[in-house]
Amino acid sequence: MATDPSDPDPIYPDPIDHVLVGARPLTIDEVVAVARHDAPVSVTEDAWARVARARAIVDGLAQDTQPHYGVSTGFGALATTHIPVEKRVALQRSLIRSHAAGTGGEVEREVVRAMMLLRIQTLATGRTGIRPDTLRLYVDVLNAGLTPVVREFGSLGCSGDLAPLAHVALALTGEGEVRDSADRRLDASSALAAAGLRPVQLREKEGLALINGTDGMLGMLCLAAHDLAGLLTTADIAAALSLEGLLGTDAVLAADLQALRPHPGQARSAATMRAVLADSEIRRSHETEECTRVQDAYSLRCAPQVNGAARDTLAHAVTVAERELAAAIDNPVITDDGRLESNGNFHGAPLAYVLDFLAIVAADVASMSERRTDRFLDVGRNHGLPPFLADDPGTDSGLMIAQYTQAGLVTEMKRLAVPASVDSIPSSAMQEDHVSMGWSAARKLRRSIDGLAHVVAIEILTAARGLQLRAPLRPGPVGAAVIGVLGEVAAPGPDRWVAPQIDRAYAAVVDGSIRAAAESVTGPLD
């Protein structure tokens, strides 16, 4: 079986080397392919035709004396302000300049690219009234590897991710800043020229079409869902290795017991743990009449229930993401019968809720992981292992402070689990009097997922060392494979600099090496 996540056969799917927009809703994997791996993007001919038809509708309204939001009116609380024909191009330019008001550090390249792809998808629906030439420039900028500089703070997650998307739109007009494919920070005008592209002069309705979407929130949800899917399987592997190393019983993982509480995530987590523990000499060693342990601590016995609930919560979040990927978010929007209608579909509540749910999930999975690590290090609870898994306890401290690091991470993740979506600060002179804070929920979720990867890495490092200290008993084939990936960093012995050991384990979690090692023995783990 494959052991390298870059090898698509038979465990990992074929890489996505091109994404076609306009034929159907994008998938989460396609978003990741463009955002993280620079897969090129193109738009279908049918989509170009839809875009042209919608633009013709907007052009027909441009000279209308009746007010049309975004075409002949101001924005937000200024929506009742009539804009004369001769000022309507300036209206769009002013909209983008004024709304590109973000501040703070730069948002990660992969997030900006995901956001750009998702805005392209909505523009290609023919619901926004964008001009084909403007959409074409957007696609060309993305494919050229130009990434507008977007700031951390500015979006309230309602009326779309206005400020972040405005920073992208500003670059299309030749203003603002971008990073090129070599990560050099340049003014947008110079970067466009170097790529052979010409900035656009926005016309009626186009400013709103470029910024009135949930694309930042959705992009971060897609990336988070992708990462958590792999990370939760790795958390199951970690839990099983800890159960093995702490001489716990796998009887509680039996399929018939799990079926008494028919949550699908719980069943999958338990099945993964059973596969990891198969053929373990350590596990078999205490299946004797002399073993008096009837029940393990909750952090061992209830791992499938917690990790499984996390899986089910993730499944709900994926459902929300997929619905949003099938949406056309803009305001106003062009209907099937050619009306230009205002709506509230830009409100980020559906995304904000699940982004917050996932931060709660990540914190709780990490909390249980840290408890298992602590049991390994406590001589009163680790069933015969040395204190802190130290070589010479007293002289050596072993992994004592690695658990401190875990505890600090878990505490931070608990703070990040406080929901952003329960807050709302009215804006735009009370026109926008309830907002979702979904962008904030997404930003903290990214930090929480990274924290979970570190916490699980420390548990795996600890379990690998604990398993080796059970010698001459041998761990199961999965445990041996994971130990092989970690190599010398997990080997027992006198104290060594711990930080690089944690870094090595973290890298193996994030790049999929731990999961791939397990699957080289078990086959695909779901």
CA atoms within 13 A on the CB side of 481: 25
Q: Where are the alpha helices (DSSP H) in 12-108?
A: 28-37, 45-61, 88-99
Residue among 405, 404, 413 nearest 366 (CA): 413
3-state secondary structure 357-419: HHHHHHHHHHHHHHHHHHHHHCCCCCCCCCHHHCCCECCECCCHHHHHHHHHHHHHHHHHCCC
Amino acid letter, residue 382: N
Place of tokens 């994997």: 29
Is 69 one of the annotated active-site residues of the chain? yes
Kindly report the length of the chain: 526
Rounded Cα distance between 146 and 468, Å, is 49
What is the sign, positive or negative, of the torsion defined by CA atoms of 194, 195, 201, 202?
negative
Q: How far apart are CA 130 and CA 133, in angstroms?
A: 8
Please enumerate in sequence order all residues whose Cβ is within 8 A of that of 90, keeping only pairs 6 or more positions apart, or say none. Answer: none
* Ramachandran bin of 523, using left for φ above 0, alpha for ψ from -120 to 50, beta for the remaining angles: left
Strands (E), 96-190: 103-106, 147-148, 151-153, 177-179, 185-187
Which one, of 234, 240, 237, lies nearest residue 253 by Cα? 240
**CA-to-CA separations, 32 to 2, 15, 221, 227, 519, in angstroms, rounded:** 22, 11, 11, 10, 23
Are 369 and 456 in contact by the 8 Å Cβ rule? The answer is: yes
Q: Rounded CA gap, 64 and 365, in Å?
A: 57
Which residues are paired to 186 by β-bridges?
Answer: 178
Backbone torsions φ then ψ of 106, nearest 5 degrees: -75, 140
Mapped onto helix, strand or coil, the DSSP state of residue 143 is helix
Asked if 425 and 352 count as a contact pair (C-beta separation under 8 A), the reply is no
Catalytic: which of 12, 69, 298, 506? 69
CB atoms within 10 A of CB 215: 25
Q: Which residues are catalytic?
A: 69
